Structure 1
Amino acid sequence: MTQHDLKTGRPWSRGTSALLAVVLVLGAGTAGYFTWRAMQPAAVARSGPPKVPVSVTNAVRKDVPIYLTGLGTVQATFTVGIHSQVDGKLESVFFKEGQHVKKDEVLAKIDPRLFQAALDQAKAKKAQDAASLISLQKDLERFRTLGSKGFETQQNLDQQQAKVDSMKATIQADEAQIETAQTQLDYTDIKAPSDGRMGMRMVDPGNIVRASDAGMMATLVQAQPALGTFTLPAQTLDQVREAMKRGAVEAVAYDRDNRNVLSVGTLQNIDNQIDQATASYKLKASFPNTDEKLWPGEFINVRIQIETRPQAVVVPNTAVQRGPKGQFVWALTDKNTAVSKPIQTGPTTGDITIVESGVSAGDRVITGGQYKLRANSPVSISDKAQTADNSES
């Protein structure tokens, strides 16, 4: 049957008829799609919301050591600049850069000839004056003999006694001069003031060195034991002082990344004032450093244990969340639905956090997959969710 246009009364062409059929099919498809979408909420409502995969663990009670960690630097027990104490030509250098040396070991030598000559001269002067003293003492004995017989005046006797006393004083001055010359000669051997390791050599043999030189010939450091100077926030001062009153406080030195233990020692002392600019104070710990893992000038993290909390309720750090109203954890109900619980936390040690209120031992808390949770969301326990959550962090 041929269809006609209602306005013109003319019959439709085949193309017009095909176009009309396509429009009718598209309209029917669109209506079916929207009808299907309208039915979906009802289907979801009947089946319930999907379960969220999460990782779960139990809150437990345990004895928890409480640590404080501060950033610091390694210092040598002694740091000594090696200088010459006399003027002269540097004749020899006996140490090697980086060498371990013992106290009083000869490190270098200044040309000693002038100082040896000065010592010999002082000794000769003393011998000369000692001979003069003997002569004066003999004269004094003669004056005394003549005076006892009335052949010499008391005035001449007193003058001779003064000459003897004066010569004795001269000999004492000679002895002091000898000691000074001997000391100067000894200074031509530059010795190590303590055990330690030598640094870079700054002066080569053949150069003239002087006691007034500002520059050093080398630096000697003793890093066994080594010292670690670090800082802590001012609000921890009372805790540290109380810990020191109870006994020795262990100090552990970690590397800059706070991963590897370098040395274990003890806390030595606390600075006598707080830095108001940074609201912190300095502490010093001593480490044996027998293996020399601590190097002077190196940055380290120093951890000290100030107390142990007995039977504290703890949860993994990954369970603790922060929201607009403070910290909270997602916990599981008996029906395996998630509920948020506000908590008050204490110190964090390693990968666990002490919970002071809000969670009890045995409560199941969610440690992974929290980003998909809503109040009363049903969950399914999955180790995969824990792994994925950790990889993001």
Structure 2
Amino acid sequence: MKNRFFSLFFLALLAAGCGPEKPREAIPPLVTETRAFCQTVPLFQDYIAHTSANSTVKIYSQAAGKILSKHYTGGALVKEGDLLFNIDSRPYLADLQKAESLLEETSAKLKMAKEKAESYTQLIKDDIVSQLDYDQSLTDVLTLEAQAEQTRSDIVLSKLKVSWCSVRAPVTGFPGISNISTGTYVPVGGPDALVTLQQAVPMSLDFYIPEKEWSKIRSLMDEGAVRVQALSLKNGERIYEGTLAYINNQIDRKTGTIWLEATFPNEDLSMWPNEYFVARLFYGVAEHALLIPEEALVKTQRGDQIFVIKEDNTVELRTVTAKKRYREFALIDCGLQEGERVVLRGQINLSDGTKVAIKEEESLPLKNKGEGCPE
């Protein structure tokens, strides 16, 4: 009897344990939130660009002669006025000495001719010399003066030819490798250039923009200097300041782009020809722009959407307009208010009306990285 009682009691407990369970409350998804904030930021667009020499100078010999020495290394920087080649100047020095000696001789003859003409001026009044002799004395003075002037011009030309024997860099830049070796005779003007020099100061930055942006950039240039930055491709660790200098006069019909060129002072010579950069072209300022981290945007077929966190920690799915970007932030044109909470991470399991648990609030203030953002 006692065993039967315990058996019935055990069955009753077992039946109670197998009854329907109460539904457990769902655990809300864990998300990270941030807040929309306002700040004045510059507006810009980035393009892939490469540097090019501001000008390419082919240097030809202006004096004929034998190359005596070369004073540069191909590819190494030379500054304006640096000596590149020495050409044998002895023939031109001889011509210079000859012209200087001739000038001394002519000057001495001219002095005597002037003294003779002065004396004849008095003698003709006394009828001691004839009119013909007097006229001849004046002619001798004029002839010798012309010869002296011609000799002075020859001296100037000879000095110029002597200076041409020292071939110097006309601009600061990078010389190429020359095939002209020491001992080679070079004629005046070629046929081959002594060396080609790529100008480094200033440096040009070339890039292409879509043709739809042409009118906007053209208007900016009409208003004044357009600011351009060059950022190195290695995490933007080097930033250079320049200005837009040139817009090409035609659109490339194959690509639908137009070529632009910016100029950079490059006084420290840290930019080299054919180096790749990001060209950052500034076209305005957004006053009191509303920003959220771009990571908070959800890309859908309907456009950019975000999850806004309400006071009861449920989320509302909203479509926003965010056509512009500033670094890692999106500029929101409509669909959001300053200070509203937005899901930054954890959107994958969310839908409109889902209740969420907040992991943390992440504050992402802007940091100025050289864009010149006004406060």
Report TM bin, short chain.
Answer: 0.7 to 0.9
Please report how far the alpha carbon of residue 194 of structure 1 lies from its aligned counterpart in structure 2 after TM superposition.
4.2
Query: Paired residue for 1:129, among 106, 122, 126?
Result: 106
Q: Percent identity?
A: 20
Distance in 1 of aligned mates of 2:141 and 2:266: 61
The 3 A distance-change label for structure 1 pair 140 and 52 is same
Match of 1:340, SS? strand
Please report how far the alpha carbon of residue 322 of structure 1 lies from its aligned counterpart in structure 2 after TM superposition.
3.5
Residue number in structure 2 paired with 1:263: 239
Residue number in structure 1 paired with 2:251: 276
Residue number in structure 2 paired with 1:153: 130
Q: CA deviation digits over 1:287-315, x for unaligned, max 9? A: 4452x431122121132555443433211
| Structure of greater Rg | 1
Residue number in structure 2 paired with 1:323: 300
Query: Paired residue for 2:83, among 96, 106, 109?
Result: 106
Matched, 1:286 2:264: yes
Counterpart residue identity of residue 253, structure 1: A
Distance in 2 of aligned mates of 1:372 and 1:319: 14
1:250 and 1:264 in contact (8 A); partners too: no
Query: Paired residue for 1:237, among 217, 239, 242?
Result: 217
Match of 2:142, SS? helix
Query: Paired residue for 1:365, among 325, 333, 342?
Result: 342
* Correspondence 1:159-308 to 2 at 5 A: 159-221=136-198, 223-224=200-201, 226-232=203-209, 233-234=213-214, 236-237=216-217, 240-241=220-221, 251-256=228-233, 259-267=235-243, 269-271=244-246, 275-277=250-252, 278=256, 280=258, 282-290=260-268, 292-308=269-285
1:229 and 1:285 in contact (8 A); partners too: no
1:126 and 1:171 in contact (8 A); partners too: yes
Match of 2:190, SS? coil
Q: CA deviation digits over 1:305-333, x for unaligned, max 9? A: 55443433211112223333333223334
Residue number in structure 2 paired with 1:386: none
TM superposition score normalised by structure 2: 0.73
Please report how far the alpha carbon of residue 198 of structure 1 lies from its aligned counterpart in structure 2 after TM superposition.
4.4
The 3 A distance-change label for structure 1 pair 308 and 146 is closer
Could you say which structure has the higher helix fraction?
A: 1
Query: Paired residue for 1:352, among 299, 319, 329?
Result: 329
Structure 2: stretches of 5+ with no match in the other structure? 1-20, 361-375
Please report how far the alpha carbon of residue 351 of structure 1 lies from its aligned counterpart in structure 2 after TM superposition.
0.8
Please report how far the alpha carbon of residue 347 of structure 1 lies from its aligned counterpart in structure 2 after TM superposition.
1.9
1:64 and 1:308 in contact (8 A); partners too: yes
Matched, 1:63 2:40: yes
Q: CA deviation digits over 1:5-36, x for unaligned, max 9? A: xxxxxxxxxxxxxxxxxxxxxxxxxxxxxxxx
2:248 and 2:258 in contact (8 A); partners too: no
